[in-house]
Chains A and B, each alone.
Chain A
Amino acid sequence: MKEEDVLTAKMIESGELNRWKELLRLRLTECGWRDQVRLLCRDAIKQGNLEEMTVDQLNNEVTPKARQLVPDAVKIELLTKIKTFLQENTLQESQ
């Protein structure tokens, strides 16, 4: 199993991962997720201490909510892409 992980990681680093990242960013901005998360962050800042909010604190607060906010359509699209990629590559390996 570990070997497979290593192999797939290598393949991803060929550039596929970057493409997925960009695609995800594009989709999230389009559907407004980005602005929602921004609002979340600003609210969190206002609630907490204005000047002492570090990135870590924000991160811990905001990230789980952000994950929930991602629309399903975007998730499914990206999941299918990743799956097809993995399937192609694992098939090659087995052959």
Chain B
Amino acid sequence: MINMDELINQLSATILDDLIDDASLGVIFGVHRSNKLGYLAIEDGFKDNNGEHSEGHPIVIAPNMDVFGQVAIKNKQHECICPSCNRTLAASRFAPHLEKCMGMGRNSSRIASRRIANSSKEGNGNGNIASGTGVSDDDDDADWTFGGSEKKRKRKDKHSTKKKNSRVKNGGAAASTAVSDSAYNSLEGNISSGEQAAPVVNGAPTFESFGAAEKKTLLLQICGVVSEHTGKLCTRTLRCPQHSEEQRRNIRLALLGQNYEHNQVIGTYIKQNEEVKFFSITFKSQNFE
């Protein structure tokens, strides 16, 4: 057993020596290669013109200083004085403040017009306007955000819902009754004529305002099936995969009456009368002879 232990010790010593030789050989290879390739001397660094080793840029290790020896205070910012209101401001806040203060940018003119609108709405009992400008400058500073102010977002929403309501198949439900009535009345009077001036609701021409011929041409181009969710006509191609031919035929029946010419691709309805009469969507379709 003692022999075994000695043997083991000797063996492990030899193994260790081999391992160390391996490691040192690795280092030697690396150094030799870098010498051969010529970049061994670079590790020492370059001499300055003074002839000394990098005396011009010593590495600085000291409190409150970075490696180059510069004093490192990040919070130092140039302070500017606004020429009009004479306040000291940080440099990063200076530009937006100047825009509000001098009233020359896009934002500041919007704010001014909004203020005017507000003051005119509530009457002129708001008190001094002069004091208002001083206070609101600071409030407006907060508007300088990436997404824009919230008031403008609300406005956008109002517009979009109005536009949606005025879209094609609103019936009597969504749009205000005054609008649809006016559209119907104007059309009622002109029912026999073909085209007419289209009344506009909220800036968008409504479907009812189209003349019979326009409607026909429109329905020849688009699928036209009314979607249940939104009440609008499907504006996809006549071969739209979402709706069946049956649906398209039904819509054309409802909108144009039985006597109309369908697209050759779709159906087999044969036009009986040349005239196509217009029907208001709010009422059931009637047959014309």
A47 to B239 Cα, complex, angstroms: 89
Interface contacts (Cβ under 8 Å), in number, total 79
Does the CB pair B31–A42 fall under 8 Å? yes
Closest approach, in angstroms, between the C-beta of A60 and any C-beta of chain B?
10
Does the CB pair B16–A79 fall under 8 Å? yes
**How many residues on the A side are at the interface (Cβ–Cβ under 8 A)?**
36
For A59, list chain B residues within 8 Å (CB): 25, 28
Instruction: Give the contacting residue for B4; candidates A45, A50, A63, A90; CB below 8 A.
Output: A90
Q: Which of B11, B20, B26, B40 has the largest number of chain A CB atoms within 10 A?
A: B20
Does the CB pair A66–B24 fall under 8 Å? yes
Instruction: Give the contacting residue for A55; candidates B8, B11, B28, B43; CB below 8 A.
Output: B28
Instruction: Please report A residues at the B interface, Cβ cutoff 8 Å.
Output: 1, 4-5, 8, 12, 17, 20-21, 24-25, 28, 34, 37-38, 41-42, 45, 50, 53-55, 58-59, 62-63, 66-67, 70, 75, 78-79, 82-83, 86-87, 90
Instruction: Please report B residues at the A interface, Cβ cutoff 8 Å.
Output: 4, 7-9, 11-13, 15-17, 19-32, 35, 40, 43
- 14 A–B contacts from the bound complex (CB under 8 Å): A5-B11, A12-B15, A20-B15, A28-B23, A42-B40, A54-B32, A55-B28, A59-B28, A66-B20, A70-B20, A75-B16, A79-B13, A82-B12, A86-B8
